Amino acid sequence: MRIVLKNGQRIVKENELERIDIAIEKGIITEIGKNLTGDKEIELHEKLVTPGLVDVHVHFREPGFTDKETIRTGTQAAARGGYTTVCAMPNTNPIPDTKEKMAAVRSLIDRDACINVEPYAPITYGLTSEELVRMNEVEAFAYTNDGVGVQDAGTMFLAMVQAAKYNRPIVAHTEDNSLLFDGVMHEGFKSKELGLPGIMGIVESSQIARDIHLAKETGVHYHVCHVSAKDSVAAIRSGKMQGVNVTAEVSPHHLLLNEGHIPSDDANYKMNPPLRSEEDQRALLEGFLDGTIDIIATDHAPHTEDEKSGGFMNAPFGIVGLETAFALLYTQFVKPGVFSLEFLIDRMSKIPARLFQLRQAELRVGSVADLAVFDLDTPYTIAKEDYRSKSSNTPFNGKTVYGMCALTLYNGAIVWNNEKDEVEK
CB 106 within 8 Å of CB 98: no
- 60 in a known ligand binding site: yes
Give me the residues paired with residue 385 across strands: none
Helix (H, G, I), strand (E, B) or coil at 329: helix
DSSP string, 156-218: HHHHHHHHHHTT--EEE----GGGTTT--EESSHHHHHHT--EE-THHHHHHHHHHHHHHHHH
57 is in an annotated binding site: yes
Q: What is the DSSP string of 208-272?
A: HHHHHHHHHHH---EEE-S---HHHHHHHHHHHHTT--EEEEE-HHHHH--GGG--SS-GGG--S
Binding residue per annotation — 173?
Answer: yes
Give the whole-angstrom CA distance, residue 9 versus residue 129.
50
Contacts of 336 (CB under 8 A, 6+ apart): none
Q: Give the three-class secondary structure for 424.
A: coil
Burial class (CB in 10 A: 0-12, 13-18, 19+), 402: middle
Residues acting as catalytic residues: 299
- Supply the DSSP string of 8-44, one letter for each residue: EEEEEETTEEEEEEEEEETTEEEEEESS---SEEEE-
**Chain mean position to CA 312:** 23
Identify which of 188, 337, 173, 336 has the alpha carbon closest to the alpha carbon of residue 258.
188
Residue 421 in marked binding region: no
Q: At what angle do helices 278-290 and 230-241 cross, to 10 degrees?
A: 30
312 is in an annotated binding site: no
59 is in an annotated binding site: yes
Rounded to 5 degrees, φ, ψ at 393 are -80, 100
**Beta-carbon contacts of residue 259 (< 8 Å; ≥ 6 apart):** 185, 186, 188, 189, 190, 191, 274, 275, 276, 277, 278
Tell whether 318 is in a known binding site: yes
Instruction: Flag whether 168 is marked binding.
Output: no
**Measured between alpha carbons, how far is 76 from 171 in angstroms, rounded to an integer?**
25
Residues of each annotated binding site for Zn(2+): 57, 59, 146, 173, 226, 299
* Annotated binding-site positions: 57, 59-61, 91, 146, 173, 226, 272, 299, 303, 317-318
Q: Which positions make up the binding site for substrate?
A: 59-61, 91, 272, 303, 317-318
